[in-house]
Every structure is written in C-alpha cells, then in structure tokens.
Amino acid sequence: MSGQRCLESRQSLRGICLAIVQIVLLAMPAQAAVHTAETEEERSVRSLLRQEALGYENGEGVERDAAKAASLYCKAARLGDAEAQFNLGWMYANGRGVERSDATAAFFFHAAAEQGLEQAVRMLATVGGAPNYVPECMIDRAPPQMAPPPLRAAAPLVELIPPDAPRHIVDIVKRHAPQYKLSPTLVLAFIKVESNYDTIALSPKNAKGLMQLIPETASRFGVARPYDAEQNIRGGMAYLSWLMAYFEGNVPLVAAAYNAGEGAVNRYRGVPPYAETRAYVARILGGYGRVSHPFDAGVTGPSPQLPLMRSALFR
C-alpha cells in the first residue's frame, strides 16, 4: 500500500513539474534576447518603496499618513512600478488622503494598464481616458533621462566594438553608419539589446530581425525584407537617425522612443514610467556610454514637447 502511495506521489509530482514547464515555456518571449530585464536591485527598490507606501496608507506598523503614502507611491510609480501606479490611481479616484481627481486617477490607471495590469484597465473605464498633462510628482528631473542636449561640440567618441558582435554585422554597421551620421557603437548597442545579433529574431509583437522592426516601422523606412541583415540594419538606422533629430541627440529619450514609441515619450514628457522601458534605456546607455549624440537637424523638426521637458527639469 505504501509503495502504491509512493508511486502515486511520484506521478503527481511529475504532473506538477510538467505543468510548471509548460507555464514557463508559454511565458518565454519568442525572440533571442530578453532585452527589457530589470536587475534585482531595480525590482527591490520599487518593491520597497511600494511596501513602505502601503504601510503609511493603511497604518501598518506606522502612523497612518496618506500624504506620505502618496509621495512614496509616486516615487515607485515614476520608476515604473505598475502596482504603485494602480494604488495611487485608486487613492485619487476615491479621494483617500488626496484631493479626489478622476483625471489624475486616469493618468495612473492608464500607465499601469499600459504595463498590462488588468485591474487598471477596468478602473480606467470608470474614470475616463488619460489626461494630456503629467502630474507634478511624475516629472523625472534626474539626469540622464532629461539631460539637455546638444552635444555637437562634444569630444570625439572612441568607437568601442563589442567583442561578441559578429564580424559581418559589424561590417554592415560600419559601412552604413556614416550615411545616417550614427555612431557604430550606438547602433551595435541597439542590435545587442534588441536581438542579441539574431538575424531571424521574432518578438511576440511581430518585431523582426536584428533591430526588431515592427511592420509599420519597416514600411515607414522602406524595409521589404526585415530578415535581410543589411536591409534591417539600414531601416533601423534610418529610424534612429530620425529619432536623434526629433529628440535633438538625447540618447535616453531616443532609446525610450525606440522601445515604447515617440508618442509615449511625448505624452509622458520624458522616459515613460514603464519598468520595461527604463530597464531598456539603462542597457542602451550601458552599451553606448554617453547620454548624448550628434544629430542632423535636417532630418526632421524637434519634438514639440522638448521645451516642456527641459523646463520641467530646471524648474
């Protein structure tokens, strides 16, 4: 009898293990590199801020202080913590310790919903769409995100080629980078983070190839064969060149726009409060080593939000 129970136990455990494996496989991205992974330290900071805010909101272990809770939630929200964004939206939606404001609640619910928090999607429907302003506490004034450009007179950059970059990809980048007035080091940083040099990388959002071009971007910059390494790189560089002009050489803003779209950067007047995008920007900066890059103003006009971004930084 004990032997039968042991066998049944083993079969049960095996079933559990198989189920876990299936869940993990379903959760894995379809591209070669997980380019948005946060560090453990980044996750810990956000979590600690949120937990401290929760304590002040509910009076758990400390005297209840809604204003302190809102301030802490906003710090975590600015770092891209979706749960903190939702909790702060709930405080504004219900006037709990802060002045009730559906518009401000909508801002925070919208940010959390964009990061996939389902309850935020439901709450957003009750307070209306996102407002066209950014709450004061969400304006990120800390460099490098909002460091003012331009850096046309910056010291010449020594191009450092990543040792793991395949030779044929490096050759393509070096051959075309001068046409788009881009640093090969910067372009290779994007390729590394986007696809880990995988020419046939495919993301769950249908982004393809080395520079992970979505169909709209590929069409916008004339890429007919996104899995052709040379076409893909040229299309990605054309987009980077456009973003450089649009954000006047501000690399954090360019990286944020490449990841989340220039519309999101304009709407949030800086790097969007998405944990994924903030981690992405950090990785690009780590690969390039600078927060600014020369730009060709003739490619396109600047973002209309740039003056607001700069005034927010130095206010």
What tens digit of pLDDT does each residue of 232-288 get? 999 999 999 999 999 999 999 999 999 999 999 999 999 999 999 999 999 999 999
From 131-135, 198-202, 272-276, the region with the lowest mean pLDDT: 131-135
Q: 167-314: what fold?
A: Lysozyme (1.10.530)
Catalytic residues: 194
DSSP string, the chain: -HHHHHHHHHHHHHHHHHHHHHHHHHHS-SSS--TTPPPHHHHHHHHHHHHHHHHHHHTSSS---HHHHHHHHHHHHHTT-HHHHHHHHHHHHHTSSS---HHHHHHHHHHHHHTT-HHHHHHHHHH-SPPSS--GGG---STTTT-----TTPPPPPP---TTS-HHHHHHHHHHHHHHT--HHHHHHHHHHHHTT-TT-B-TT--BTTTTB-HHHHHHTT-S-TTSHHHHHHHHHHHHHHHHHHTTTBHHHHHHHHHH-HHHHHHHTSS-S-HHHHHHHHHHHHHH--SB----TTS-PPPTTHHHHHHHHH-
From 6-15, 33-42, 50-59, 169-178, the region with the lowest mean pLDDT: 6-15
**What average pLDDT does range 49-55 have in this prediction?**
96
Q: 40-138: what fold?
A: 1.25.40
Higher pLDDT, 11 or 126: 126
Instruction: Name the segment(s) of the chain with CATH classification 1.25.40.10.
Output: 40-138
